[in-house]
Every structure is written in structure tokens, then in C-alpha cells.
């Protein structure tokens, strides 16, 4: 079983407008609400891949009811700790004339020790069944910055492998727990390492450095330029074919889902990273976040180019 963790779940709202004009009243031409947060994007992709998945995390209020109801409708198992207040909303405004996207991300509820303890009890119980764990996104207010590091230590002690996809202090502190994979993008890796990163060579160097800081492996994503993936046995850059993306939001989460699926299936590094880049691109070809078409994925997998790096 794959366990996904979304500590700061959200209701994701996607608004379509002709052009975004600040300071004016905008009429939305299309609107879509989904259960969101990076971990739940991972969850939906894994479900579509046919994986046995359990969603854990924290929800709150009426928005939390909506999130859990959406998962119920998709037949996805979940076991959330409940917090006071309201789960956040995250709004993605898509300009139909340009394809440009602007996101508004609420902070989410401020959770306390009792909620964290409740979550940890659920996580500990789930680890008895889970072989792979994904921990994605920001931490809610009230959670310590080292929380993902604690989860990584718990997973390792239980014999499970864990992927952490976060940023800032949450990512930096996660390394102390020696996660099996971290997946920052180029900007996030640069913030962590304290320098500006540009291009594949910088991404590859960053991936190596992250292993030196405690990660078992590292995938530094570069959007349309692919990913630099380093592990103790090698370093490879995987590049997708050129596509015309419709919605790139959730592509990194799809990559995390692919790594989790590859690990749970016993795939080697080459097959896993090729699949990860293809699935990320397939997500970008869908208007829905955290989704893909099987036909796109099948077409893209053999088109991913691998460049082995020394």
C-alpha cells in the first residue's frame, strides 16, 4: 500500500477568465472545485494508476467535509485527523487569452498538539500496511518545521520508504530524517542550497548535494526541461518531448506519484524516472489537476530521452 500525506489539504478552485485585470470586477467563465493540496494530487494520480492508496493528513470544517466527500466519490480510502477552523482554499486563475496562471494560496488552519498527536497515531497504525509513503506540500500553522523529518524517521523505523516534496524550512529539516527521496524544483533546491540554480548542470549538482545532506536520492525538476535524478548508483537527466501544456499545476505531484508507483512495483531507476517524466507531462496535457489520459501516457513514455551524467 502507498500512504499519501497532505497536512495542509485544500479546496482547489480553478477559475477561467479571458484576461486578469487587477482592480476590476472579473466574471469567471469556468470554475472547477477539487479536493487539493499537493498530497491529494498525488493520491488521485495513484488511484488512476490503479495503486492501493490511503490518504492521511488533516482536514477542518465544511471545506474538510467537501475534501473527504470528494475522495469518497472517487473510492479513495482516507483517515484524516480533524482540526478546528477551516481547511484552506487555493485559487488558480487561468487567463484563457494567454494561458498565464496566477495562484492565491490561503494559509490554512492553525493546528495544535492534540491534532498532531491524533495524526501521528493514525500514521503509525497505517505504517503497519504501507510500503511507500509520500509527504507533500506545506505544513499547516502550528506544525513544527521538522515534522517531515520526524515522519521520515518513523517510516524508516517501520521499514517503509518515504518521498518528501516540500520547500523552505520544511524541506531543509526533513533531511535530518534521511528521507529516501526529495523532489524539489530548481528554485526550491536553490533556496535550500543558498544559490541561484539554472539549467541541467546546476540541477544535477544540486541533486548530488542533497544526497550528501541526508537524502537517499534526489530528483530536481526543471519543468519542460525534465528532471535531474541522482541516487547512490548513478545520475541521469530525463527530458520529456515538447508538448503544448494545458495546465501544468500538479505535474510535480504526478512525478511524485510515479516514483511511489515505481518503487512499490519494484522497478529499476531507469524505468521509474522515464515513467515519472512521462506522467508529469501527461498531467500537463490535462485541464484537470492531478489527472492524465492513459493514451497520452502510453505515447509519451517511449519519447522521454535519458542522458546519463557523470
Other CB atoms within 10 Å distance of the CB of residue 19 = 11
| Identified catalytic residue from 12, 180, 253, 296 | 253
Residue position matching grid coordinates 523505523: 157
Answer yes or no: 296 catalytic: no
Helix/strand/coil for 4: strand
Q: Which residues of 131-145 are buried (b: 16+ CB within 10 A; e: fewer)?
A: bbbbbbbbbbeebee
Helix axis angle, 269-284 to 251-265, nearest 10°: 150
d(CA 244, CA 32): 21
Helix/strand/coil for 136: strand
d(CA 213, CA 190): 14
DSSP assignment letter at 39: H
d(CA 161, CA 127): 10
Could you give the residue numbers annotated as active site?
Answer: 253
Amino acid at each position: 500500500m502507498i500512504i499519501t500525506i497532505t497536512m495542509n489539504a485544500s479546496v482547489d478552485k480553478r477559475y477561467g477568465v479571458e484576461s486578469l485585470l487587477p482592480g476590476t470586477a472579473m466574471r469567471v467563465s469556468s470554475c472547477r472545485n477539487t479536493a487539493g493540496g499537493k498530497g491529494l494530487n498525488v493520491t488521485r494520480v495513484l488511484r488512476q494508476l490503479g495503486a492501493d492508496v490511503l490518504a492521511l493528513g488533516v482536514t477542518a470544517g465544511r471545506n474538510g467535509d467537501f475534501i473527504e466527500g470528494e475522495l469518497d466519490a472517487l473510492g479513495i480510502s482516507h483517515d484524516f485527523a480533524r482540526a478546528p477552523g477551516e481547511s484552506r482554499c487555493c485559487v488558480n486563475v487561468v487567463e484563457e487569452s494567454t494561458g498565464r496562471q496566477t495562484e492565491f494560496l490561503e494559509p490554512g488552519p492553525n493546528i495544535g498538539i492534540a491534532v498532531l498527536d491524533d495524526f501521528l497515531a493514525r500514521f503509525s497504525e497505517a505504517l503497519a500496511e504501507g510500503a511507500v509513503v509520500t509527504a507533500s506540500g506545506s505544513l499547516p500553522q502550528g506544525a513544527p518545521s521538522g515534522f517531515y523529518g520526524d515522519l521520515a524517521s518513523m517510516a524508516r523505523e517501520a521499514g517503509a520508504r518515504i518521498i518528501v516534496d516540500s520547500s523552505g524550512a520544511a524541506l531543509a529539516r526533513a533531511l535530518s530524517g534521511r528521507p529516501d527521496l526529495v523532489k524539489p524544483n530548481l528554485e526550491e533546491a536553490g533556496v535550500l542550497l543558498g544559490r541561484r540554480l539554472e539549467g541541467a548542470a546546476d540541477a544535477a549538482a544540486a541533486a548530488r548535494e542533497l544526497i550528501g545532506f541526508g537524502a537517499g536520492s534526489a530528483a530536481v525538476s526543471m519543468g519542460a526541461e525534465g528532471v535531474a535524478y541522482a541516487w547512490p548508483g548513478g545520475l541521469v537527466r530525463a527530458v520529456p518531448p515538447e508538448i503544448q501544456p494545458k495546465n501544468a499545476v500538479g505535474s510535480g505531484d504526478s512525478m511524485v506519484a510515479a516514483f511511489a508507483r515505481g518503487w512499490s512495483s519494484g522497478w529499476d531507476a531507469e524505468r521509474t524516472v522515464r515513467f515519472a517524466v512521462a506522467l508529469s507531462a501527461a498531467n500537463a496535457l490535462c485541464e484537470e489537476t492531478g489527472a492524465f489520459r492513459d493514451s497520452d501516457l502510453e505515447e509519451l513514455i517511449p519519447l522521454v530521452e535519458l542522458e546519463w551524467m557523470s
